[in-house]
Structure formats: structure tokens, C-alpha cells
Chain A
């Protein structure tokens, strides 16, 4: 079975802090994705990556950056956390084909920014 893990289930940070959310997949998948999920807005794509050191902006990249130095790991970085970044963050991976293949999701990280 594909396993996607996220470094924390719950995280509380203060405004202005630099925040790292880590995601690791164990199936040698090419593609990895970061989403945020908010009540009433659903899931929205922040960034995705087709390969190591490759990244593409999604619908809402502002305030975020990403890093993919190794195939299995995709990091989401909040350079200076703000209260409007309080959300559930979901990481996903897929084998190939960009968005045309089944995505496998991690359990999510619920981030609260005070």
C-alpha cells in the first residue's frame, strides 16, 4: 500500500514564525502535491512538483514556498506565518501523469497560527 506521511498532525505557531510542513511518500512516486482545506472553500492546490527540484504553482501559492530536494520528500514552507494561514494542510502523491493518475493523500496537518 502507498503510504504518505506528514510530520505533524497538529501544529501551533505564532504570527511571523517560519513554518515547515514535511511530507514523505514511500512508493517512489514522481508527483507530489500540497493542498489546504478550509470550511466552505474546500480543497485548494497550493503547489505541486513533477520531479525532484521541480515545482509548479497551484491556485493559491501566495505566502508559501516549497522544496523538493529528494524524490520522496516534499516540504511546504510558510516564510512568515499569518493567521489567515490557519488551515488543514494535506499532502498527496501520484505515480505519474500529473493529475491524470490516482492521488494518495496523507492524514493532514492542522495548523493554527496565533
Chain B
């Protein structure tokens, strides 16, 4: 059974710092991995999607990497801003005998202090 963990559970940094969020998954048989952000009381916003054949994706100040063999992904945020404060979730598309399914990690709650 695919399990997804995220470290740290919470992170507080001063504005301007570069930071890394970590995501680990137990089964390397994935189709893709997505990073989302969730603002309090709201739905999820997709940030980056990495296909299983890719190593990384970039969007603005965000860079996500994927290492299937070690079961890890990182989300790098450059020059953090207070507006980046949110919970960041990773999710992997799991492949099993029943087809595809999405498994989410528990999230990392990020606070960027002005």
C-alpha cells in the first residue's frame, strides 16, 4: 500500500529565505507526483506536476524534483514571501490492481514571516 509522508510538518522562516519541503513515498511505481498549496479553509491549487519520466519541473520561484528510485520529491521555494504562507501537499498517482488512484501526504504548514 502506497504511503506518503512529508517533512517537516510545519516550518516558519523569515521573508527572503530559500527553503525546501520534502515528500517521501513508499512505492516507486507511480505515474506522477503533484505539489499543491492549500490556503486556510480553502481548496487546493495545483503548483507543479512531475511525470514519472521527468526529474524536475519549474514554475517561477518554485522547483520540484523527483527521484523515483529513492521515493523522494522536494519542493524548493526561492526567495520566500509572506504570500507563500500556506499548507503544501504532495500527492502521488498510485498504480495498483484496481487502476490509478491519488494518495496525498499530510502536508507541511509553511509560515513566512515579514
Supposing A42-B104, A56-B99, A106-B43 touch, asked if A100 and B89 sit within 8 A by C-beta, the answer is: no
**Min CB gap A43→B, angstroms:** 4
A70→B45 CA distance, assembly (Å): 25
Whether a CB of chain A sits under 8 angstroms from the CB of B41 is yes
Instruction: Name which of A43, A59, A106 has the most chain B CB atoms within 10 A of its CB.
Output: A43
Shortest distance in angstroms between A39's beta carbon and chain B's nearest beta carbon? 9
- Which of chain A's residues 81-104 have a Cβ closer than 8 Å to chain B? 90, 92, 98-104
Given the known interface contacts A102-B46, A105-B45, the answer about A45 and B93 at a Cβ–Cβ threshold of 8 Å is no
Interface of chain B residues 73 through 108 with chain A (CB within 8 A): 89, 91, 93, 99-102, 104-107
> B49: CB under 8 A from chain A?
yes
Smallest CB gap from A109: residue in B: B43
The answer on a CB contact under 8 Å between A90 and B102 is no
Q: A58 near B: Cβ within 8 Å?
A: yes
A104-B101 contact in complex given A42-B107, A99-B93, C-beta closer than 8 Å: no
B interface, CB within 8 angstroms of A: 31-32, 34, 36, 41-46, 49, 51, 89, 91, 93, 99-102, 104-107
Beyond the given pairs A42-B105, A102-B49, 13 more chain A to chain B contacts, judged by CB atoms under 8 angstroms and listed by A's residue number, are A43-B44, A43-B104, A45-B102, A58-B101, A59-B101, A100-B93, A100-B100, A103-B34, A103-B46, A105-B45, A105-B46, A107-B42, A108-B43
A–B complex contacts, Cβ < 8 Å, 30 sampled: A4-B43, A33-B102, A40-B106, A42-B89, A42-B104, A42-B105, A42-B107, A43-B91, A44-B104, A45-B101, A56-B99, A90-B43, A92-B44, A98-B99, A99-B32, A99-B93, A100-B32, A100-B93, A102-B34, A103-B46, A103-B102, A104-B46, A105-B45, A105-B46, A106-B43, A107-B43, A108-B41, A108-B42, A108-B43, A110-B41
